[in-house]
Amino acid sequence: MSWFTDLFTRAPVGWRDLLDIAIVTVVIYEVLTLIRGTRAAQMVVGAGLMVGLLFLSQVAHLETVNWLIRNIVGYVVFAAIVLFQSDIRRALAHFGRAPFFRLLTKGHAVEEAVEEIAVAAGMLAKDRVGAIIAIEREIGLRNYIEGGIPLDAKVSYDLLVTLFNKESHLHDGAVIVHDDRIAAAACFLPLTVNPRLSRELGSRHRAAIGLTEENDSVAVVVSEENGMISLVLDGTIERGLTPDELRSRLRRLVSYGRSGTSPQRWFSFG
């Protein structure tokens, strides 16, 4: 009965074993997700058949088949690298965007996003194209994101200028930025009900103020009438910013969250 007892006897499982299993599981899942629906899936099936045939040749003593497979495996690997180089690049880029690696590079990515937003605001202001860009901080903006058109695209001034182009179907509403990604466009924000607001402020400014009254987000507004750049935080607005001033404000507010130093020239309406 010793063999029966040994069958149910297992070595103690430690945290390293659990971590090992978790990492392998995640890697296998990500690989299967990447190759699903691509040419690589057929390649994996073919490789699996070759491995199965190799084991079969060893068990059945098929020497010729075993010799043939062992000799062509090396050439198949090099051929796969050449044929699927684009898929390999895509896989490596996908792993680089994994949450763990993005956490390590988040600071640099946010700095790049701030730069792109400042450049886009300057270009839109020069052409007097109205725009509103809401930047999420600690409090999520999921309710407004779900009401817009989801994009999940990297922040770039080209994309922002295109989205707010008057010929675009997405120019109405706001663009919401999460970290270094444009989460959604054509999002409708709540208008403020503050009666003390100046009549010079249009619907975009009122929507930006209304949003920031409810949460800790930051909103950048470009006026269609005069091309003025404004920054809104906590229901207060700072108007007449240059792209350089906007870049400086956003770096302090976005990079360091709520602990950042607040701008000094804010106009409060209540």
Q: Tell me the backbone φ, ψ of residue 131, rounded to 5 degrees.
A: -160, 155
Q: Look at residue 268 in the predicted model and tell me its pLDDT.
A: 37
Beta bridge partners of 131: 222
Cβ within 8 Å of residue 13, ≥6 positions away: none
Per-residue pLDDT of the chain (270 residues; tens, 9 = 90+): 565 566 556 667 778 888 888 888 887 887 777 666 666 667 777 778 888 888 888 888 888 888 888 888 777 777 777 766 666 666 666 565 555 555 444 556 788 899 999 999 999 999 999 999 999 988 889 889 988 999 989 999 999 999 999 888 888 889 999 888 999 999 999 998 888 887 778 889 999 999 999 999 999 999 998 899 999 999 899 999 999 999 999 988 886 444 444 443 344 333
Taken in order of first residue, the domains within the chain and their CATH numbers are: 13-102 (no CATH), 106-259 (3.40.1700.10)
The pTM score is 0.61
Q: Is 86 exposed, middle or buried (0-12, 13-18, 19+ CB in 10 A)?
A: exposed
The upper half-sphere exposure of residue 17, i.e. CA atoms within 13 Å in the direction of its Cβ, equals 5
Q: Tell me the backbone φ, ψ of residue 125, rounded to 5 degrees.
A: -65, -40
